Amino acid sequence: MTPEEAADITAITQLVVRERESRDLCIWNRMADCFFEDSLVDISWFKGTGKEFVVASKGMYERGMRAKHRLGPVLVTRNGDRAVATLSGIIDIPQSINGVELTLSSHALFLYRVEKRSGEWGLMSFGAIYRRDELIPVTPGQSVTIATEELAGYRPSYRNLSWSLAQTGYAVNNDLPGEDRPETVAAIMQEIFSWAGLPLPD
C-alpha cells in the first residue's frame, strides 16, 4: 500500500465514522457536510438525498426517536477516486410500550459508496443489509406482549424495527436488502462494487 492509498483509506474511514457520530450527537451541519448533493440514502424509513436525510434525521430526533449506533471496524475497498466502505452496526432505539422501557436493537451491515471530488472524499450513498432485530426490556423480569398479527406482515430481518417505525407514523419499505432474502443481498453488493469498478469479494 502506498502512502497515498493509506491516506485515502484513513480519510474514508474517518468520513464514515464522522457521519454516524454526527447523527448520534445531533451535529447536523457536520453530518450534512459528509454527503455530496447528488447522494442517495435508502434505508428502512427514508429514501432521498443525503442532505434530505439529515433534515429527516433531525425531525426523527425531535419526534422522540433517539437512535444511537454501535459500530464495528470500517472495511474500505478502493479503486482510484471511488471506494466502497462497509461495516457492521447495531442501531439502538429506546422504546416504551405500556409503561415498559425497552431497547430495540437492529443488526445490519452498513454500505457506503464514496467518491473523491476536487481532492476531497464525500459520501455518494448510504444503505444497509438488514440481518435481525430484537426488542428487549431494559429492566430484567419485565415483559410486553405484541399481538402476532401486528408483526405478521413484516420481514424477519427487520420485523421489530418495521413495527416500531410504523407506530411512530413512518412508512417502511418492505423490499430492502435483508439476509432473509439472499438475492437482495447479492443484488446490492453487485450494484455498489460495480459502481466502483471493483469485482465482488470471493
- Quote the DSSP letter at residue 19: H
- The full 3-state SS of 141-188, as one line of letters, equals CCCCCCCHHHHCCCCHHHHHHHHHHHHCCCCCCCCCCECCEHHHHHHH
**Beta carbons of 80 and 197 less than 8 angstroms apart:** yes
Report the pLDDT value the prediction gives residue 17, as an integer from 0 to 100: 98
**Beta carbons of 75 and 85 less than 8 angstroms apart:** yes
Report the pLDDT value the prediction gives residue 138, as an integer from 0 to 100: 95
Query: What domains can you pick out in the chain, each with its CATH number?
Result: 3-195 (3.10.450.50)
Name the residue among 190, 146, 152 with its Cα closest to residue 174. Answer: 152
Along the chain (202 residues), what's the average pLDDT of each consecutive run of 10 residues?
94 98 98 98 96 97 93 97 98 93 97 97 98 95 91 95 92 95 98 97 88
Q: What are phi and psi of 72, to 5 degrees?
A: -90, 180
Model pTM? 0.94
Report the pLDDT value the prediction gives residue 202, as an integer from 0 to 100: 86
Q: Where are the beta strands (DSSP E) in 20-149?
A: 35-43, 46-48, 68-71, 75-79, 82-97, 100-117, 120-137
Name the residue among 69, 81, 93, 111 with its Cα closest to residue 200. Answer: 111
Measured in whole angstroms, the distance separating CA 101 from the mean position of its chain's CA atoms is 24
- The terminus-to-terminus CA distance of the chain in angstroms comes to 21
**Matching residue, cell 454501535:** 70
